[in-house]
Amino acid sequence: MPESKLSSSLEDYLEAIFLLSGKDGEVRVAEIAETLGFSKPSVSEALTHLEAKGLIEHEKYRGVRLTPEGRIFARQVYERHKTLFIFLTRMLGVPSAQAALEACRIEHTISSDTYDRLRQFVDDQLAQTGDGLARLSELSPGESAEIVRIQAPGWFRHRLLEMGFIAGEVVTIEKIAPLRDPIEFELRGYHVSLRREEAAHVFVRPIVKDETES
Amino acid sequence: MKRNRKQAEPLASRLARLPSLAEKRGEIVVALAGNPNSGKTSLFNALTGAHQHTANYPGVTVEIKEGVVRREGVTLRFVDLPGTYSLSPHSEEEIIARDILLRGSADVVVHVIDSTNLERNLYLLTELLDLGLRVVIALNMYDELLRSHARLRVRELSEALGVPVVPTIGHRGQGVTRLLTAIVHAASEPEQKEKQKSVHYGETLERALDEIGKGLHERTSLEDRYSLRWLALKLLEGDAVVESLVAVESGGEEPRKTARGLREKIQATYGEDAETLIAEQRYGLVAGIVRQSLSLPLEKRITFTSQLDRVLTHTYLGIPLFLFFMWALFQLTFSLGSIPQGWIESGLGWLTTQVKAGFPAGPLRDLVTQGILGGVGGVAIFLPNIFFLFFGISLLEDTGYMARAAFLMDRVMHTMGLHGKSFIPLLMGFGCNVPAIMATRTLETRRDRLLTNLLIPLMSCSARFYVYVLFAGAFFPGREGNVIFSLYLLSILVAVGIGQLLGRTVFRGQGSPFVLELPPYRFPTPRAILVHVWIKGSYFLRKMGGYILAFSVVIWFLGSWPRLPALSTEETITKNLAQSQHLSEQISYSAIGRLGTLVQPIFEPLGFTREMTIALIVGAPVKEVVVSTLGVIYGAGSDSEEGLREVLRSTQLPPLIAYAFLVFVLFYAPCIGTLVAFHRETGSKAWTVFLISYEFLLAWVLAFVVVQGGMVLGLMR
């Protein structure tokens, strides 16, 4: 992957599969073709490429499924898209239809260095307006959020990773202890509690209605 | 990162020091690994029954149990590793579990999994497989999985992982026979290792792993001892312990540099570090396999656990309920425990009279009745408390309430630099320090255990209460309640202060992240609880009883020798008076009495008399003795409380000094039992010496402040 950069259309395929994957993680070829507006044979050809790169698994007569590596990659493409979309609409005032279209183009060509700076900028702006990413410690019981990244000292981040706090995972806030600390969370089907100061290292996107699809 | 360097250095030497787990002749060594709360210990008990003992690893303070089972003519030696979520070097438990697995001394690893929590539990499996170990999975608590209406295709899971999977119900001993068969099979099956899947980390990472592995293979001889793939992974993750392990190896510098370069490259291309990517891949694989083999019930059921938690961790009800449980635990341990303590005392009293009747009066009889029987009593008296406390603690642990207790109390304990789980041992310290120190085993990291153990002796135990009552009655009539209350308050305040001080100095920056799992509530089985209580009680007798007894005899000896020259009958005026005088003179004449005279200058600034100093020395190992010793030295005619109080009052000691004396008694030195327990649990002479010295210093300084402060305020009459 990053060494032999994927063509922009392959990135689109990955992103589409990522967004279409249901609970069982499978997507039908017809769905992909419909979403992207390509013919089924050309979809099949692209899928063969992706499979050869080890990014998806595709068994005959069954759906398409992302490999763990493919999932990471797809999520990054999707993240880029979202960040660009927010930047274009909220910070530059570009109308959303146009922004969605252009985000789709820029996301494939932007360099990782420029993107990092852009992401930092967007995060800062959103933080100032009290919008966008939240810290896990800021949510109320009953709310769910998707983990975006963990900004913590090495060994603590490692511990969180091992406990399953991984980008893309959904965490639900179960309860706040009577003395307001610690906080109980649910993820991956189990319950865990973190201190407020620890949970503040986890940046999440509260789950609300999704406003951007490419 | 400082902590890592500290742990990094001794790994190689620690590995060399670890004794080989067993003489490998016709014996299969089986390590039990698993997450906390996976029911690993109850499965271990079911596998080995009573045939288990604590393994001795030099320098390792974490308890590791071993047990032996014979099966199909083979001897299986089980080693119960500490419960861990991963094999990262974050806590001593993880390092030890990892060291034992790394040494390759385990022929088979049984990975015990909580069936109701597959994803998180299987993360550890990916690490075990990367180590290249033969693994058998025990799908524990299988009954709960069935009850949850989820459907797990066990064979599919087994095939997807390439690892044998055996459903078990540890606390009922079910599935044990099949598990034993699977272990024997896995140990002897040559293809087992080839069948096992390991995580494919994606092309980029795999290429990096190959490159590092190649460097290690060509330049070092590490592959004789370790799995190269695992080393490469750890280097890529930047694991400090492994980095230094490779660095000290000849030719290790080059592969380490390669790994560093690759780390940076990966960070640059992916925008994420290798650690994150590796964890993502592991969870990716595990989640995929779980999704394929497990069907969850369609609607999310409101579980028994969440219903119970609505009450037990409720915003307003949670803490009152917790305090009620703590009150009940305290009553159970110390009020109910005092009943068998009474039996023990009267039993020993009866034995003493028997011996007195059977032996002629003299030093030998004194040794047996006062020294030995007194010492035995000093040991046995702890047993009822230990049994009742661990009955209660097992109940709290096995039901899952212990985690809630930590959840509720962490806010309070955190201000002292402690973990929420420290609350229960500290609270129990008010009853008796010995079982309280033993209860720190429930804490997960060595740092938390050590810090809690250092604070427990500051908790004013019931033996000290006995001293307060007499002194307060003698010197503060009518104000006993306030005086005693102030001492308890002081005990807590000082513990908080010392906790913060130690947390910010000696233990600085080592705070363990809280990350506390809240497992589902479970019904405890009587068998598991009784086994736990039995293990704790016998552990106390085996590992601590002997020392306590020996120390008691020595102290008694020092208080009775050298003996006064015998009194002639002419010197006897009235028998009663002579006897008490004799005892008083005997103590002053003994080694301890002489020591008292010697160290008296230290206590001069506190206003303590020589008699008080001697009482402090005699009472250092057993605090309730302070009062009776004073009574003896001052020549109290009788042992009755009223008599002692009269004598104390007659000394005309200023109340201010009496109060300073109580403050000193509160803090000055842990009793023998506490010291032995502390030394056993921490495994460190240095910390034990530290405990004695800081407590003594603390007691002196506080007593001094009381006396000087009181004088300034004009309280000295």
Identify whether B311 is part of a domain.
Answer: no
| Token pair recorded at residue B116 | 């109701």
Q: Please report which residue ranges of chain A form alpha helices under DSSP H.
A: 8-20, 29-36, 40-52, 68-86, 96-109, 112-128, 154-162, 196-199
Q: Say if residue B141 is in the same domain as residue B18.
A: yes
Residues B251 and B234 in one domain: yes
Among all residues of chain A, which has the CA nearest to that of B415? A181
Cα angle, residue B235 at apex, residues B229 and B237 outer, rounded to 5°: 105
Per DSSP, B404 falls in state: H
Q: What is the ipTM of this complex?
A: 0.81
Q: What is the largest CA-CA distance in chain B?
A: 102
The two tokens of residue B200 are 């494919």
Tokens of B680: 């056993």
Q: Which chain B positions have a beta carbon within 8 Å of A111's beta carbon?
A: none
Burial class (CB in 10 A: 0-12, 13-18, 19+), B297: exposed
Domain assignment present for residue B551? The answer is: no
B121 and B38 belong to one structural domain: yes
Query: By CA distance, what is A73's nearest residue in B?
Result: B270
Nearest to B170 by CA among B296, B65, B37: B37
Q: Establish if B20 belongs to a structural domain.
A: yes
Q: pLDDT digit string (tens) for B208-238? A: 999 999 999 988 888 877 888 999 999 998 8
Q: Which chain B residues touch A25 with a CB distance below 8 Å? A: 288, 291
Structure tokens at B709: 């402060």
- The CATH number given to whatever domain includes residue B179 is 3.40.50.300
Give Cβ neighbours of residue A54 (< 8 Å, ≥ 6 apart): A67, A69, A70, B200, B202, B203
* Confidence category of residue B164, pLDDT binned at 50, 70, 90: very high
Q: Which domain holds residue B270?
A: 203-274
Sorted by where each begins, the domain ranges of chain A are: 8-71, 74-128, 134-206
Compare B556 and B483 and report the one with higher pLDDT: B483
Q: Give the pLDDT band (50/70/90) at residue B196.
A: confident
pLDDT at B707: 92
Given this model, what pLDDT does residue B11 score? 44
Average pLDDT value for residue range B297-304 = 69
Residue B16's pLDDT band, with cuts at 50, 70 and 90, is very low
- Whole-number percent of chain B with pLDDT over 70: 89
Q: Give residue for tokens 């392990």.
A: B245
Phi/psi region, residue A183 (left: phi>0; alpha: psi -120 to 50; beta: rest), is beta
Residue A150 with chain B: CB contacts under 8 Å: 276
Distances (CA, A) of B464 to B431, B439, B454, B460, B706: 10, 20, 18, 6, 19
Please indicate, yes or no, whether residues B236 and B106 belong to a single structural domain of this protein: no
Q: Quote the tokens at residue B587.
A: 């103590």
In a domain, B81, yes or no: yes
Q: What is the Cα–Cα distance from B119 to A169, expressed in whole angstroms?
A: 12
Q: Tell me whether A190 touches chain B (CB under 8 Å).
A: yes
B423 has a pLDDT exceeding 70: yes
Q: Which tens digits make up the pLDDT trace of B318-347?
A: 999 999 998 898 888 888 888 998 899 899
CB-nearest partner of A180 from B269, B280, B411? B411
What is the per-residue burial (b if ≥16 Cβ within 10 Å, else e) of B135-146? bbbbbbbbbbbe
Interchain CB distance below 8 Å, B90 and A159 = yes
Architecture of domain A8-71: Orthogonal Bundle (1.10)
Same domain? For B61 and B116 the reply is: yes
Kindly report, residue by residue over B581-629, the tens digit of the pLDDT. 666 777 778 888 888 888 889 998 998 888 888 888 888 777 777 777 7
pLDDT of residue B596: 84
Interval B111-158: pLDDT, tens: 999 998 999 999 999 999 998 889 999 999 999 898 888 889 999 999
Interface of B with A in 118-157 (CB under 8 A): 118-120, 123
| Residue B568 maps to a domain | no
The residue of chain B nearest to residue A152, with distances taken between CA atoms, is: B513
* Residue in this structure with the two tokens 């005959």, named with its chain if needed: A60
Amino acid B510: pLDDT? 59
Report the candidate in B328, B325, B298, B303 with the shortest Cα–Cα distance to residue B312: B325
Q: Is the pLDDT of residue B572 over 70?
A: no
Q: Are residues B251 and B144 in the same domain?
A: no
Identify all chain B residues contacting A142, using CB atoms and an 8 Å cutoff.
Answer: none
How many other CB atoms sit within 10 Å of the CB of residue A187?
20
Q: Does residue B526 carry a pLDDT above 90?
A: no
B173 in the same domain as B42: yes
Domains A8-71 and A74-128 share a fold: no
How many interchain CB pairs under 8 A, A with B?
162
Say if residue B110 is in the same domain as residue B184.
yes
Matching residue, tokens 């230990």: B386
For the domain made up of A134-206, the CATH class stated in words is: mainly beta
Answer whether residue B594 is part of any domain.
no
Instruction: Look at residues B274, B298, B330 and tell me which one is the last residue of a structural domain.
Output: B274
Q: B7 at the A interface (CB within 8 A)? A: no
- CA–CA min distance A54, chain B (Å): 7
| From A110-119, B465-474, B535-544, the region with the lowest mean pLDDT | B535-544
In this predicted structure, which of B377-381, B457-461, B709-713 has the lowest mean pLDDT? B377-381
Minimum-distance CB partner of B408 among A67, A178, A192 = A178
User: Which residue of chain A comes nearest to B205, CA vs CA?
Assistant: A69
Q: Is the domain of B71 the same as that of B131?
A: yes
User: Does residue B106 form part of some domain?
Assistant: yes
Distance CA B42, CA B54 (A): 16
Flag whether B653 is in a domain. no
Q: Which helix (H) or strand (E) holds B113?
A: strand B108-114
Low-confidence ranges of chain A (pLDDT < 50): 1-4, 209-214
Question: Residues B44-63: what's their mean pLDDT?
Answer: 68
Q: Give the confidence band of B477 by pLDDT, cuts at 50, 70, 90.
A: confident
What is the rounded average pLDDT of the residues B477-483? 86
- Under CATH, to which class is A74-128 assigned? mainly alpha
Q: Searching chain A, which residue's CA lies closest to the CA of residue B273?
A: A154
Give the number of domains in chain B. 2
Of A166, A184, A194, the CB nearest to B283: A166
Cis bond before residue B562 (omega within 30° of 0): yes
Average pLDDT of the residues of chain B: 83
Residues B45 and B191 in one domain: yes
Q: Do B119 and A191 touch (CB under 8 A)?
A: no
Residues of B (402-421) whose Cβ lies below 8 Å from A: 407-408, 410-412, 414, 420
Q: What is the pLDDT of residue A2?
A: 43
| Mean pLDDT in residue range B505-520 | 79
CA distance A187 to chain B (A): 9
> A189 contacts in B (CB within 8 Å)?
116-120
- Which of A 46-85 lie inside 8 A of B, CB atoms? 53-54, 65, 67-69, 71-72, 76
pLDDT of residue A211: 44
Instruction: Give dist(CA B225, CA B338) in Å, integer.
Output: 55
Q: What is the pLDDT of residue B299?
A: 61
Asked whether residue B43 falls in the same domain as residue B176, the answer is: yes
Whether A141 and chain B come into contact, CB under 8 Å, resolves to: no
- Whether B58 and B27 map to the same domain: the answer is yes
What is the pLDDT averaged over residues B439-449? Answer: 81
> Of B166, B195, B224, which residue sits at a domain end?
B195
DSSP designation for B389: H
With 0-12 CB in 10 A as exposed, 13-18 as middle and 19+ as buried, what is B343?
A: exposed
CATH of the domain at B229: 1.10.287.1770
Q: What are the tokens at A200? A: 């503040």
Chain CA centroid to CA A95, Å: 23
Q: What is the DSSP string of B174-187?
A: BTHHHHHHHHHHHH
Interface with chain B: mutation pick from A151, A190, A196, A198, highest number of B CBs within 10 Å:
A190
What average pLDDT does the segment B451-466 reach?
89
Mean pLDDT of the region B481-506: 89
Q: Please say if the pLDDT value at position B306 is more than 50.
A: yes
pLDDT of B15 reads 43
Q: Say whether B518 and A177 touch across the interface (CB within 8 A).
A: no
Say how far apart CA B679 and CA B645 lie, in whole Å: 36
pLDDT computed for residue B397 by the predictor = 84
Q: How far is CA B24 from CA B18, B28, B47, B75, B182, in A?
A: 15, 7, 20, 10, 20
CA distance A166 to chain B (A): 6
Query: Higher confidence at residue A82 or residue B110?
Result: B110
Number of H helices and number of E strands within chain A? 8, 8
pTM: 0.79
Chain B contact set for A72 (CB, 8 A): 202, 270, 277, 280-281, 284
